[in-house]
Every structure is written in C-alpha cells, then in structure tokens.
Amino acid sequence: MREDDSNWFSKWEEQLPSPEELTPLSQTLITPDLAIALDIPIPNPNHHHHHQHPDPSPPPSAAATAAAAADEPARTLKRPRLVWTPQLHKRFVDAVVHLGIKNAVPKTIMQLMSVDGLTRENVASHLQKYRLYLKRMQGIGGGGGGPVSAADMAAERLFSGVHHHQMAAAAAQQPYYNQMGHYGFLVRQPHQPVMDVNRMVGMDLGGYSEDLEETGSGRKVLTLFPTGDE
C-alpha cells in the first residue's frame, strides 16, 4: 500500500504545471478585445487613473513582444474615446425625437439607436451635453419665439461638438454646416427639411460599423460610421 501511495504521489507531482505555464494571478482572464466587445467592466489594473499614462514605446524584439503580449493586455485595456460624428449624432437626435422627451433616457435611446459598440454611458454623456445645449438655445430663442417643444428644437437645430479636422471632413460631405459662437457648436441651415418624426418609427437600424482610428497623439478613438444613407 505504501508503494502505491508513493507512486501516486510521484505521478501527481510530475503532472504539476511549471510556473511558466501557470497564469499569473495579476493577469486578466479576459482579453482586451473581448472585454471591449462585451463591454464588461474593465479590469483596470492601473492604480493611477489620473495623469496621462507614460506609454513608453519599447523596442520590439521578438521575444520581448511575445512576452509582453502575454501580460500587457491587462494594463493596456482601455476603451477608446467615442467620437460623435455628425452622422452618429443625427441618429441620436432622431432617436430622442422619436422617443419624446419623457422616454428619451440613455437606455432607451441607446436601444433605439442600436449602434454596435455604443454603450449606455456614451449616450448618457452625450445626452447630458445635448440637454445643456437645448437649455442654452431655449434661453436665447425663448423670449420672442413661439412655443416650441424641446424635441422640435432638437429636430431643428442639430448641435455637434466636433470642430477638429474630422469635422472638416464631415462638413465636406455635409455642406450645410457652419460654425457658430465660441463653442464650436454647429447648426444646420434650414435649407434641408428635417426628417419627419412620424416616419422615423420604422427607421432601419443596425447599419453601423465600427472603425478604429489613430489620432495625432497616438491615442486611439472609436468612430462609428454609418453604412446607411446618412
């Protein structure tokens, strides 16, 4: 009996994985891409969440790259900033107008937009800014103008916070934008009639694709491009 025990123990011991084969405890079990795709809470190991991260660019040797690839996903995991292109914003406004003020909350807006990769947080943040914009517009136009609902104004005046080069490119495609104020807000000229609210109920959804671009500072941003007719 004692020999059996000894033999069993030997086999067991030999089958133990080597330390190199063990997954480090500090390593996330989920790859960054998968985490981003599933929009799960980021296992962010960064203790310092303020200040720009150093992001040194080490010389990539083959071995170093392979070794880095094994454990770097954990710290490098950051969802890229979402860029609200005019097209994406339009879909947002369409959704808000369609839902009506009372139902236009981030969750429902996001659902109606049905843009892949768009999170509720993205919508909430944008909605907040959009409401501020509407309030400002009401304060200015409210004195002499007739009673207009916020939703109507939303449909009328397209706000967009983009004023960098991406805007220039977008503006080239959509020439009815011009600049206004110091805030870089953009309004659409009344030439083109706004889409009929009632028609939007059946609007086709799900025609967006993701695209990952790199900007000047090396930071990656996520832009969602419409593939439909906008």
Tokens for 225? 């491009």
User: For the packed helices 86-99 and 165-173, what is the interaxial angle rounded to 10 degrees?
Assistant: 70
User: Least separation, in Å, of the C-beta of 73 and DNA?
Assistant: 16
User: Least separation, in Å, of the C-beta of 210 and DNA?
Assistant: 13
List the one residue from 10, 22, 53, 152 that touches DNA (CB under 7 A): 53
Distance CA 223, CA 214 (A): 10
For residue 179, state whether it binds DNA (rule: CB under 7 A): no
> Which 190-219 positions form the footprint of DNA (CB under 7 A)?
215-217, 219
For residue 116, state whether it binds DNA (rule: CB under 7 A): no
For residue 49, state whether it binds DNA (rule: CB under 7 A): yes
Q: Is the CA virtual torsion 121, 100, 207, 87 positive or negative?
A: negative
For residue 188, state whether it binds DNA (rule: CB under 7 A): no
Q: How far is CA 171 from the centre of its chain?
A: 21
Q: Which CB, 200 or 222, lies closer to DNA?
A: 222
User: Least separation, in Å, of the C-beta of 28 and DNA?
Assistant: 15
Q: Which CB, 75 or 79, lies closer to DNA?
A: 79
* Secondary structure E strands in 4-91: 81-83
Those residues with Cβ within 8 angstroms of residue 134's Cβ, 6 or more apart along the chain or in another chain: 150, 153, 154
Phi, psi of 44 (to 5 degrees): -85, 110
CB 181 within 8 A of CB 157: no
CB 8 within 8 A of CB 53: no
User: Least separation, in Å, of the C-beta of 69 and DNA?
Assistant: 22
- The interface region with DNA, picked from 29-37, 178-186, 189-197, 200-208 by CB under 7 A, is 178-186
For residue 79, state whether it binds DNA (rule: CB under 7 A): yes
Which spans of this chain sit near DNA (rule: CB under 7 A)?
A: 42, 49-53, 78-84, 105-107, 120-122, 124-129, 131, 160-165, 182-185, 215-217, 219, 221
